[in-house]
Chains A and B, each alone.
Chain A
Amino acid sequence: MSERIPGSPFSDLVVVELADTPAGEHTGKLMADAGATVIKVEPAEGATSRRTGPWLEGRPGADRSLSFWVYNTSKQSVVIDGPDPADGPLAALLDRADVVITTDGPARLAERGLTPEALVAGRPRLIVLSVSPFGLTGPWADYRTTDLVGLAAGGPLNSCGYDDHSIPPILPGGNQAFQNAASYATMSLLLALLQRQVDGLGQVVDVSMHEANAVSGELANPYYFYPKAVVQRQTARHAQPVPTQPALFPCADGYVYFALILGDLHLWKSLVAWMDAADLAADLVDPAYEDFAHRQAQFSHVQEVLEVFFLLHDADTLYLEGQARGLPVGPLRAFEDLPQDEHLRAREFFLEVPVATDEGERAALFPGAPFRFSAFEPQPSRPPRLGEHDVAVAGGGGDA
């Protein structure tokens, strides 16, 4: 077997992916980018993500979906209609697989004959990783979900939105309900693989997207567990039991995030020196402000002077100069800003990945791996065309 990622501990690992949500697909992608052979089993019309935009150059097509590309790098694709774990091509795949990933709820899995019990039957080393909307048991197990519904029921959405509560909570972008599930699914899979290193046996792992979101709200649960406080959403800053000062500032060409921690005199002096260098510190240079109580008493005035200072500078200047002075300023980067970022360029983070479309090969810029190892280098390679590996996989090869 060829080693697509030299030094990877997963080069001999075969993962069969019956996943049809970003939660399962991103889990498969993380393993595939790290060197595992991930064989995506698709129906003839392709996985749901292939039928979801945005599209390459805006034109739909099974091999033109950016939703598919982003979650399915480094995989193989085989078409199996009506997959049967006991017979035929899926059974043959599972017989040589180490891991199988599913994403349906229990009723749908039963309807398709793809329950964990059916998948694992006669395959004691197989790890069945289920990443379902609510988990395979419990009263909500067969409820439907989406990204929005998942973040709502799981709790994170309650913390996100604007100070103005006549506006509903606002969905953070990018399928994050599924991403919380994918993170836990990947950790769970690795724990099951570590267990198998100890005793040679597979098992069934039941990951619940709902619970993954329910434990990913940061301060929200501890605030209820301990002082019994319920946090309230606030614009672009931590939801809190009580309102706090704004931390999002308009600047000349966008917005920056800066939370002024009044109690830190060192940061205060850095901030005032910076504003003074631009002749915009106004009366904040008055030594009276070195007293914490005075700063607290004058807080809204301080905030107003700061607003003017930020408004007169662009985001990059505020970021680079503020950080050079030790101030935690963050520019709200739009996506088109990211490939230009000098730090990301120096780390060669974005990389060109060849992609195969219905019009032939081309290169596309992808984000690089989310972790760097000295021993091997996970990285994305191209997503497969629909059914691209039918012959290779059916022939028992399975190599890209």
Chain B
Amino acid sequence: MSNETVSDERTPVRRRGPLAGVRVTDFCWMGVGAVATRMLADFGAEVIRIEDRKRPDLPRRLPIYKGDVRAYGDEDPHPDPNKGGLFNNYNRNKVGITLNMRSDKGREIADRLIADSGIVTENFAPGVMERWGITWDHVTGLRPDAIFARMSGYGHDGPHHQFRSYGPVIQAVCGLSFNSGLPGREPSGWGMSYMDNQAAYYNAIALLMAIYRRNATGQGMEIDVSAVEAGINLLGPDLLDTLVNGRPSRRDDFPRGNRLEFPDAAPHGVYPAAGDDQWVAIAVTEDAEWKSLVGAMGDPAWASEDRFASMADRVANADALDALVGAWTSGRDKHDLMRELQAVGVAAGAVQNARDLVEVDPQVAARGTFFELDHPVIGPALFEGNPMTFSRTEQHTWRSAPLLGEDNTYVLRDILGMDEDEIARLAAEEII
């Protein structure tokens, strides 16, 4: 990504990038909505987040604060909505306004923004947008070429479309949680809302496809993304093994923990390294890698035993092999192991935590994956950048996340043409 200097000025600037000139009326919230529209905002779109003063976005309330460690869900009873680190991470480069959508006047302002922008994004529980009268028919009445992107757990029709969902429920329902764990015990599932990220990515893909098509044809479209369906698309070859071959996934040797069934691979696992709860992953899929690994281990006598001679032998004796490899790795530094094994062509990776990524990982540092922006309440903070570089396209980073209602005047005056008196009245009436 580009490392341009970011100005201290917080007033929205003319955006650069392939989406410059695109404007979005963004009702998205939480991670899954915000990450999708962040991609648009990073590359030039003016994304106007509509927020509710009475119901601040959960990432504004989650206590991920500088110098204050609490668990997710352990909410601060009186949170400062401008202090939340998660909100900052998800909403850089966006414009933020507050709007009371329970009021006629609030909905009327939303309509004017929709008519101006032509793109509407949302990820509320089905029914919320309908309650505000914002339907596909309504949106296309305002803008015949509108793009209306709807993101939800289950999609907008079907008998379960109103079911309550969030990441871990989606992962359970789509098969991704069952897919992870040691054979013969409870699934270990996911230690995160993986589908919040992936559903957000699929929503961004859908939006980019829709904008590309509108540029070519002048026509808009409605988008319906179901996180459950996106998740099933991520299950991979094992899903087809069940669908095509009728091989059940409820069986004694599935899921496979850290081992593979295809291709043959041994050793293939996560092995202890020096330090408390530190690990290194090693994946040997070719005989040449095995020879290199044996060399790196100093040619121990056990490695030349017949039971480890061929890949098939090593797979058949994987338990014994894992114990011996683990005895060699334990006591060694995980990053040293990664470097030494990679130097001789063995696929190996330290199990890195976030501290490793920020403080140790030379690749992340060299590529500038994380970057810093200032924020009026939080101060300087790191951000997760985008994992790609373009030879010509610019990521235009101009500001950290908006304060609650920070851009009310900019949007109402400079985009919708209201005067200061009208804006003051809206504030007094708690419309904004």
Does B342 touch A at the CB level, under 8 Å? yes
Segment with Cβ contacts to B, from A92-100, A208-216, A271-279, A387-395: A208-216
Q: Are B65 and A226 in contact (CB under 8 A)?
A: yes
The 0/1 profile, CB within 8 Å of A marked 1, for residues 360-380 of chain B is 011110110110000000100
Q: Which residues of B contact A171 (CB under 8 A)?
A: 180, 257-258, 270
Q: How many Å lie between the Cα of A157 and that of B280 in the bound state?
A: 11
Does B389 touch A at the CB level, under 8 Å? yes
Q: Are B285 and A146 in contact (CB under 8 A)?
A: yes
Does B411 touch A at the CB level, under 8 Å? no
Segment with Cβ contacts to A, from B46-54, B211-219, B299-307, B415-423: B211-219
Does A234 touch B at the CB level, under 8 Å? yes
Does B4 touch A at the CB level, under 8 Å? no
Q: Which residues of A contact B190 (CB under 8 A)?
A: 159-160, 172, 236
Q: Are A52 and B262 in contact (CB under 8 A)?
A: yes
Q: Which residues of A contact B217 (CB under 8 A)?
A: 9
Chain B nearest Cβ from A376, distance in angstroms = 8
Contact A135:B221 (CB < 8 A) given known A170-B258, A188-B388, A195-B18: no
Q: How many Å lie between the Cα of A148 and that of B280 in the bound state?
A: 10
Does B134 touch A at the CB level, under 8 Å? no
* Nearest residue, chain B, Cβ from A174: B236
Q: Are A152 and B270 in contact (CB under 8 A)?
A: yes
Does A70 touch B at the CB level, under 8 Å? yes
Q: Are A187 and B208 in contact (CB under 8 A)?
A: yes
Residue with the greatest number of chain A CB neighbours at <10 A, chosen from B217, B237, B361 = B237
Q: How many Å lie between the Cα of A336 and that of B256 in the bound state?
A: 17
Q: Are A218 and B196 in contact (CB under 8 A)?
A: yes
Chain B nearest Cβ from A349, distance in angstroms = 6
Q: Are A370 and B187 in contact (CB under 8 A)?
A: no
Q: Are A194 and B242 in contact (CB under 8 A)?
A: no
Contact A222:B64 (CB < 8 A) given known A149-B349, A248-B189, A335-B175: yes
Given contacts A140-B363, A226-B85, A344-B232, 9 further A-B contacts (CB under 8 A): A149-B281, A151-B281, A159-B192, A168-B272, A179-B198, A191-B208, A211-B385, A225-B85, A238-B191
Q: Are A194 and B208 in contact (CB under 8 A)?
A: yes
Contact A214:B174 (CB < 8 A) given known A219-B86, A226-B64, A349-B232: no
Does B328 touch A at the CB level, under 8 Å? no
Number of chain A residues close to chain B: CB under 8 A: 156
Q: How many Å lie between the Cα of A386 and that of B193 in the bound state?
A: 38
Q: Are A170 and B182 in contact (CB under 8 A)?
A: yes
The 0/1 profile, CB within 8 Å of A marked 1, for residues 203-229 of chain B is 111101111110111011111111011
Does A237 touch B at the CB level, under 8 Å? yes
Chain A nearest Cβ from B221, distance in angstroms = 4
* Nearest residue, chain B, Cβ from A206: B389
Does A69 touch B at the CB level, under 8 Å? yes
Q: How many Å lie between the Cα of A236 and that of B187 in the bound state?
A: 7
Q: Are A263 and B75 in contact (CB under 8 A)?
A: yes
Q: Which residues of B contact A255 (CB under 8 A)?
A: 186-187
Q: Are A370 and B202 in contact (CB under 8 A)?
A: yes
Segment with Cβ contacts to A, from B111-119, B151-159, B313-321: B151-159
Q: Are B164 and A241 in contact (CB under 8 A)?
A: no
The 0/1 profile, CB within 8 Å of B marked 1, for residues 132-171 of chain A is 0011011111011110111111111111111001011111
Q: Are A54 and B245 in contact (CB under 8 A)?
A: yes
Q: Per a CB cutoff under 8 Å, which of A143, A197, A328 touches B216?
A: A197
Q: Are B249 and A150 in contact (CB under 8 A)?
A: no
Q: Are B349 and A53 in contact (CB under 8 A)?
A: no
Q: How many Å lie between the Cα of A376 and that of B221 in the bound state?
A: 9
Contact A257:B154 (CB < 8 A) given known A54-B261, A205-B388, A248-B187: no
Does A330 touch B at the CB level, under 8 Å? yes
Residue with the greatest number of chain A CB neighbours at <10 A, chosen from B189, B202, B262, B270 = B189
* Nearest residue, chain A, Cβ from B234: A179
Does A16 touch B at the CB level, under 8 Å? no
Q: Are B342 and A144 in contact (CB under 8 A)?
A: yes
Q: Are A170 and B188 in contact (CB under 8 A)?
A: yes
Q: Are B342 and A143 in contact (CB under 8 A)?
A: yes
Provide a sorted-by-A list of 27 A–B residue pairs whose CB atoms are within 8 angstroms: A9-B217, A54-B245, A56-B245, A66-B240, A139-B363, A148-B349, A168-B272, A170-B181, A170-B182, A170-B270, A173-B180, A174-B176, A185-B388, A211-B363, A225-B354, A227-B65, A231-B191, A236-B186, A238-B192, A257-B171, A257-B177, A328-B166, A330-B172, A364-B240, A367-B239, A370-B229, A371-B230
Q: Per a CB cutoff under 8 Å, which of B157, B205, B357 touches A30?
A: B205
Q: How many Å lie between the Cα of A195 and that of B255 in the bound state?
A: 43
Does A398 touch B at the CB level, under 8 Å? no
Q: Are B355 and A335 in contact (CB under 8 A)?
A: no
Q: Which residues of A contact B280 (CB under 8 A)?
A: 152
Does B81 touch A at the CB level, under 8 Å? no
Q: How many Å lie between the Cα of A347 and that of B159 in the bound state?
A: 9
Q: How many Å lie between the Cα of A141 and that of B187 in the bound state?
A: 34
Q: How many Å lie between the Cα of A347 and that of B230 in the bound state?
A: 13
Q: How many Å lie between the Cα of A261 and that of B297 in the bound state?
A: 49
Q: How many Å lie between the Cα of A227 and that of B235 in the bound state?
A: 34
